[in-house]
Chain A
């Protein structure tokens, strides 16, 4: 039982390049989330999807787009990467409202 799988685990991009971070879950959870974690800033919500077919902006959505491809998969796209997007990105799932999150192991992204 893999839980929440994020790919890739590490990535280095040049400024202006684009890429998509993938997240897949096998727990049949309805809600999925993308967070970024930066030193001293804690976890900040980028986008979330309460259910298949819906997406909403979180606290820091600028420079990102998301797609809830189906119930299992939620991807995060950087169209034109900037050094300020250097961070560790976490995908999380939640079975239903106010339950605990299950996090993936993260994608460590460096933009040079």
Chain B
């Protein structure tokens, strides 16, 4: 079973701070996705990264896929209270399975 380790597990910061969350594995993934889950709702897809070394930006969020496609990071610049939520990464193996492995998530709280 492929495992995705997310760190930190919890993060509590003030509005305006920068932060980075990590998603790591010993396995190679063909692609990796990031989701954000707000309280009381289902996860919502933010981005999919496919190529090793790829960087994608979504407003103040920057996503990077590691060169070896074993890890990924999410950097948020100038965090806002609206960024509060659970951030989940999900990786697809290099084999044929179309069912992703989910990490356990990073719970982010941004205080006004």
Contact = CB atoms under 8 A, between A and B. Distances in A.
Interface residues of B, number: 21
Name the interface size band of chain A.
20 to 34
Contact of B105 (A42, A94, A101, A105): A42
A42 B90 CA distance: 11
B31 A98 contact: yes
Interface string B42-64: 11110010000000000000000
B98 A101 contact: no
B44 A103 contact: yes
A58, A104, A106 interface centre (most CB from chain B within 10 Å): A106
Contacts of B40: 105-106
Interface in B77-108: 88, 90, 92, 98-100, 102-105
A104 B40 CA distance: 11
